[in-house]
């Protein structure tokens, strides 16, 4: 079945610097890759997603890149701010027509003032 590996498990950056979180997936048929953010004590919420027919997508300070050949995708956060501190999860939709998502292990991002 589908497997998603996420690295690093923890990441600490200075405010204003960039943060990058990487994920690899196993099923080459996967075609949808969302990123969820979970603030402390809150529910996960979608922050950005990308489909397999696109190589990059940006939304203000966040961007996601996808390399289908290597089967990996990354979340990039620029000009980090304290409110970016959270746990981030990547995921992959494992098959065409399916609603099931397989999640990575999560990355705890801490922004240091």
Partner 1 sequence: DVKVTQSSRYLVKRTGEKVFLECVQDMDHENMFWYRQDPGLGLRLIYFSYDVKMKEKGDIPEGYSVSREKKERFSLILESASTNQTSMYLCASNLSGGTYEQYFGPGTRLTVT
Query: In this structure, are strands 72-77 and 56-59 parallel, antiparallel, or unpaired?
Result: unpaired
Asked if 106 is part of the footprint of partner 1 (rule: CB under 8 A), the reply reads yes
Hey, which residues between 33 and 72 contact partner 1 (CB under 8 A)? 34, 42-46, 49
Asked if 27 is part of the footprint of partner 1 (rule: CB under 8 A), the reply reads no
Asked if 20 is part of the footprint of partner 1 (rule: CB under 8 A), the reply reads no
In degrees, rounded to 5, the angle at the alpha carbon of residue 30 between the alpha carbons of residues 86 and 46 is 25
- Read off the tokens for 86: 């959270």
Strand-pairing partners, residue 73, are 23, 66
The footprint of partner 1 (CB under 8 A) covers 1, 6, 9, 32, 34, 42-46, 49, 89, 91, 93, 99-106
């Amino acid at each position: 079945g589908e497997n998603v590996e996420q690295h690093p498990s923890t990441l600490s950056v200075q405010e204003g610097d960039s943060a990058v979180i990487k994920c690899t997936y196993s099923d080459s048929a996967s075609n949808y890759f969302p990123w969820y953010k979970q603030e402390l004590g809150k529910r996960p919420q979608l922050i950005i997603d990308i489909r397999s027919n696109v190589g990059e997508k940006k939304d203000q300070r966040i961007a996601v890149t996808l390399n289908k050949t290597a089967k990996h995708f990354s979340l990039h956060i620029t000009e980090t701010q304290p409110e970016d501190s959270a746990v981030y999860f990547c995921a992959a939709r494992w098959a065409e027509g399916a609603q099931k998502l397989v999640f990575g292990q999560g990355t705890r991002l801490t922004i240091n003032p």
